[in-house]
Structure 1
């Protein structure tokens, strides 16, 4: 009995060594890549706490240049990081050929240390995280916003 147990263990250990090993999978077993390659979306950023769901407003038939009025002063402030979105692309607007970041003049998702924003406007950011930032503004038609009196600003 004592001789049989080590002999059985020795035979089990030697069995895989004698088997033929496969170096790699035969290319014929894999499906070919689709024409044009794989166009996979980028993964979302890894954050400690997951972000709430993002809102997406779609205006597929309108060009992004006609979405609002271009504002040079706010675009220059955006390029110097003085008028930006708090969380880039937290709110998004999809127009024909472009996706723009959205911030609201009353302060939602807006970093405005110079107090340049009008509370009754919506701001659209194109390339909002670069020095080539462009800001378009459009009126906020929400009746809750338009019914508020104009706030007095103190310098």
Structure 2
């Protein structure tokens, strides 16, 4: 029931292998499934496939190069993210009384009614990266989130 374009994309992005390697087959979303609006499973993809960036594996570039490539291909990036995403900003500044912090990419998902923060990393994930994202989420919830929004989601790519 897929279009030719969708089928070619799934073949080129090794969709079948990702489906087989996922712990449960519901981890990899299928295009014609209708997601449950109470869960993020249908809205937040895992894994993301960025074949449209033409970045060789392993990633040897800088985080800012990847950010520029994602912004340059924003339409494809939004389609890869899933349903309901809208772009808010890049290098989004959030400030305290003493410091300024910059979040790589900020999106809003109007179906989940929450902000989604992306932090781009090219190296190995560390505890500092996780702590930094946790700080970004807490600050964003305190300073930017509206009362009727759901809690902010943070994704480290």
Fold shared by both chains (TM-score > 0.5): no
TM-score range, shorter chain: under 0.3
Relative contact order: is structure 1 or structure 2 higher (C-alpha 8 Å, sep ≥ 6)?
1
TM-score, normalised on structure 2? 0.23
* Greater strand share, structure number: 1
TM-score, normalization by structure 1: 0.23
**Structure index of larger Rg:** 1
Q: Higher helix share goes to which structure?
A: 2
